[in-house]
Amino acid sequence: MRDIRSNKLTLTWMRPRGGFFSNVLVLQITDSGHCLHSDDAVKFVQKIGSFHMFSPQAFLMRSCAMLFLVFCLVACGGSGSGPTASTVPGAQTPPAAGSVVLKAPVLSFNDTGLDVTDGVTSNGRWGVESQGIDWEFSLDQGITWTRGSGGSFEVKGDGAKMIWVRARDSAGNTSEIVRVNCVLDTTPPAAVAISGQSEGVTNTFKLSGIEPGARWEYSLDEQRSWSAGKGSALGALGNGLSRVWLRQVDMAGNNSAAQGFDLQNPSVVSHEASGDPLLPSILAPGLQTYLIHGVVVRGDADYVRWDIPKGQQLMSVKLVQYVSEDAVSFYALQPNRVFDAGVDVSRMLVYGHMGPGDLARNVLATLPKSKLGEGAMTLWFQQTGSQPTRYAIEVILSAAD
């Protein structure tokens, strides 16, 4: 009897007197339906013949056993010739090339550009995760393929790239093709053209030659760190900074050569901000990025005003430089042409302490934009201790939402 739930064939016989079944032999059946050892079938007949050797029943039983054996061997596909190569356990026919679809690899790359989702980059290296399966890539839309090695490959030559990658095993099976695009740009932009001039007590540095999609940046610490500017010019008022560096960064993240400007040069206006809250120093209008800088100590406060034109809003006010042994200074903003709030905080837009821990923090971050629109704004910055404090505050305006 063949058990369809297993790979065994069980041969049974009925004892003439007793009327019950007894298992005599269990034969293994291969996946293709063949008996593994036909010699075992002979043992079945010999065992049957060992009962009642000289009785008529024995003769009849041997005859029936032979017929039953032949039927079973034919039914399970056995040839009676013993095991062959096709019946060896574990033997399998390799799948034909193209009959298996492999799992597609996963690609990754470092988008170095200003927008990390636009595919414009200065780095042509792509990472490949293929779970141990060989892979290959094509740069001509599948006309030719290059076998990859390791976990990455690099495309070279500036311009738009169409990249195809797929997994491929030794049998010729492949995965679906992963298609990606990028624009490789490894060429630094030209240095920006800068013209400096004075407008009242504000030094303005107007920038031109900025590439489409690029931005300009400034540095106050000899190019160790950079901050992004807005608009097409930088306005600086004060007497605390010694040098400012300017450069542009293109869409791919390439930097131009930096240009430095000496703010202590006699041709540059060095202005100590007003200490009179009713006569604050005024920043030149029409710019979007300003730097207010100076040195304060106990009894020497700085008051500076700027005007937010119609259609614009105050985007951020940040401390970008702080040099002092005293880690605590005081600041406040009053939405007015003068600072006449005194110590009445209810008339101040924001106020608080400023120190090294506040570098790059936008003090307007929690304010509703409705309070940052058109009008005048006056800054009060003061050190109440006896240690001189050199500071620089960045002010940025943007188009109103």
pLDDT at 246 over 60: yes
Q: What totals of helices (H) and strands (E) does the chain contain, helices first?
A: 2, 25
- Domains parsed from the chain with CATH numbers: 8-87 (no CATH), 106-184 (2.60.40.10), 193-399 (2.60.120.290)
State the pTM of this model. 0.73
Q: How far is CA 226 from the centre of its chain?
A: 23
Which residue, 199, 226, 354, is CA-closest to 281? 199
Mean pLDDT of 362-377: 97
Which residue, 288, 314, 291, is CA-closest to 302? 291
pLDDT at 315 over 60: yes
Main-chain dihedrals φ then ψ at residue 98, nearest 5 degrees? 90, -5
Q: Is 39 helix (H, G, I), strand (E, B) or coil?
A: helix
Mean pLDDT of 316-340: 98
Supply the DSSP string of 81-105, one letter for each residue. S---GGGSTT--PPPPTTSSPBPPP
Strand (E) positions, 270-325? 281-282, 289-296, 302-308, 312-323
Q: How far is CA 152 from the centre of its chain?
A: 16
Are 270 and 139 in contact, with CB atoms under 8 Å apart?
Answer: no
What CA–CA distance (Å, rounded) separates 378 from 256? 35
Per-residue confidence band for 93, with pLDDT thresholds at 50, 70 and 90: low
Mean pLDDT of 274-297: 98
Residue-averaged pLDDT of the chain: 84
Write out the two tokens for 266: 């006699």
Q: Is 49 helix (H, G, I), strand (E, B) or coil?
A: helix
The more confident residue out of 91 and 98 is 98
Of the listed ranges 54-58, 269-273, 326-330, 340-344, the one predicted with least confidence: 54-58
Per-residue confidence band for 99, with pLDDT thresholds at 50, 70 and 90: confident
Q: Is 56 helix (H, G, I), strand (E, B) or coil?
A: helix
pLDDT at 47 over 60: no
The pLDDT of residue 95 is 58
The pLDDT of residue 304 is 98
The pLDDT of residue 383 is 95
Which residue, 387, 393, 381, is CA-closest to 351? 381
Mean pLDDT of 1-22: 46
Mean pLDDT of 284-309: 97
Task: Give per-residue pLDDT as tens, 149-204.
Answer: 999 999 999 999 999 999 999 999 999 999 999 999 999 999 999 999 999 999 99
Burial of 344 per CB tally in 10 Å (0-12, 13-18, 19+): exposed
User: Contacts by 68-77 with C-beta closer than 8 Å and gap 24+?
Assistant: 68/11, 69/11, 69/41, 69/44, 69/45, 72/9, 72/11, 72/35, 72/41, 73/35, 73/38, 73/41, 75/2, 76/2, 76/9, 76/27, 76/29, 76/33, 76/34, 76/35, 77/32, 77/33, 77/34, 77/35
